[in-house]
Each structure stands twice: as structure tokens, then as C-alpha cells.
Amino acid sequence: MANDNRNATQGILGGVVALVTGGSRGIGLAIARRLGSMGARVAICARDAKRLRQASEELAGEGVAPLAVVADVTRAAEVAALVERVETELGPAEILVNNAGMGLFGAFHERSEAEWDTVLDTNLKSVFLMSRAVAPGMIRRRRGRIVNISSLAGKNSFANGGLYCASKWGLMGLSSCMAEELRAHGIRVNVVCPGSVATDFSPHSGRNPATLLQADDVAHVVGSLVTEGPNSFISEIDLRPLQKP
């Protein structure tokens, strides 16, 4: 049955251009793989050229040939160059997945201003810059999809999570406002809030990996969102593991 489901979705995106930030590993790589297997023309970006090359080769070996671009999505000039290159080589991005993110944990009063800036720039500012870059074209075409990968930490606080939670709570607010501003133009903005995912993003010390979400679980949700019906709008999805740790 699982194979039947995969075959049913094969090609459903029909050459639609999808741009995934933070696409060199973990959740971003899984999302790129999923969208590519559904027929999208995929572009991925990351800051680490070596990891990006490895991800591109991995995807190509699975039948998904991505456009891989080294870019720092916290810098407006690099964002503009990234979007221009995607448009030139693949076409306008109809799907943008804002996945780039980082975690830095510890007591807030022991964190530096530079660390605050790094986390907020990566997890929040990058979404603003990327979405601002693609939104005008989507508005002109009166179609598009922006999927922001947030976290349950955008709704729940925990000790030593001040910087991370602040960035994700901010992302929730930004996503909600973007959705209201763009829906009149036929553009959907969705936000996905996963719980703990088994990636190298954070150590998950003491946790049984079998009880964590997998990157493919998040990718499955994104694939479902970008294929929802023409008159529906799923604004937000909370994603939790079936088993508690």
C-alpha cells in the first residue's frame, strides 16, 4: 500500500519550481527529496558548499536533479541573487519552503548579543527576506505557496530555550500576518510546527530515537500541504510523535 501511495503522488506537481532553504541535510533535504519525487523542479540552498554538493549528489542518485546554490539567506543581497538564479535556470518559484534554521540553547542571561543575532537572523529574518523576494512575483501570477517550518517551541516555552523560542514565536506571528496579506492574491502561507525530530539539529540527549519524529514525517506534511484542494487553506499544522518519550 505504501508503494501505491508513492506512485499516486508521482508527478503531481508537474514541473512546478520549488525552492527549499537549508536543503543540504535533515528536514530540508527530506523535503527536497519529497517534492522532487512528486515532479517538482527543485532548488536547494545552504551555506556549506561541501554539504550542499553532497546533498545534490545524493538527490541526483535518487532521480531528483536539484539546482544547488550556495547562499546565506540572512543576507538580502545573497537572497536576491539566489532567487534570480532560480528564476533564470528553472523558472519562477511557485513553492518556497523556508526551512533554514538553527538551535542554540542555554540560559538566556548567559548568551551573547552575537548569539541572539545569529539565532534570530537565521530562524526569523531569513524567512522575511526570502518571502519578500518571491512574493511580488507570486502576486503578479496570482498563485504560490510559502511553507514556513517552525516548531512546537513557537508555542511552548522551556528552560534554556529563550533564544530559540523567541525566534519561533516570532516566526508564528510573521507567518500569520503573511497569510492574511497574501491570501487575497491566491497565495497560501502555511506553517508547520514539528516536535523533536531525529536529526543532528540538536543532540536529544537521553531520548530514544524511535520515539522522535523523522525528517520524512515533516516532508510528508509539506507534500500534503502543497497539493491541497484549490479552495482550501490549511494555515497551521502541529506535528507530534505518536509515542511519548
Within-domain flag for 45 = yes
Per-residue confidence band for 44, with pLDDT thresholds at 50, 70 and 90: very high
Q: What does the alpha-carbon distance between residue 156 and residue 102 come to, in Å, rounded to a whole number?
A: 17
Within-domain flag for 129 = yes
Residues with catalytic annotation?
A: 164
pLDDT at 155 over 90: yes
Our count of domains for the chain comes to 1
Q: 210-227 burial, b for 16+ CB within 10 Å, e for fewer?
A: eebbbbebbbbbbbebbe
What is the reported pLDDT for 235? 95
What is the reported pLDDT for 210? 76
Within-domain flag for 244 = no
What integer is the mean pLDDT of 180-196?
96
* Mean pLDDT over the full length of the chain: 92
191: how many CB neighbours lie within 10 A of its CB?
Answer: 27
What integer is the mean pLDDT of 192-197?
94
Name the pTM for this structure. Answer: 0.92
Within-domain flag for 245 = no
What is the tens place of the pLDDT at every residue in 201-244?
655 556 777 789 999 999 999 999 999 888 889 999 999 998 87
> 86 near 71, Cβ under 8 Å?
no
The gap between the terminal CA atoms of the chain, to the nearest Å, is 29
What is the reported pLDDT for 245? 65
Within-domain flag for 173 = yes
Within-domain flag for 154 = yes
Within-domain flag for 188 = yes
pLDDT at 115 over 50: yes
195: how many CB neighbours lie within 10 A of its CB?
Answer: 17
Write out the residue range of the structural domain in which residue 152 sits.
Answer: 2-239
Q: What does the alpha-carbon distance between residue 55 and residue 68 come to, in Å, rounded to a whole number?
A: 9
Within-domain flag for 169 = yes
What integer is the mean pLDDT of 5-18?
72
What CATH number corresponds to the domain at position 177? 3.40.50.720
Range with the lowest mean pLDDT among 83-97, 124-138, 191-205, 216-230? 191-205
What integer is the mean pLDDT of 57-72?
97
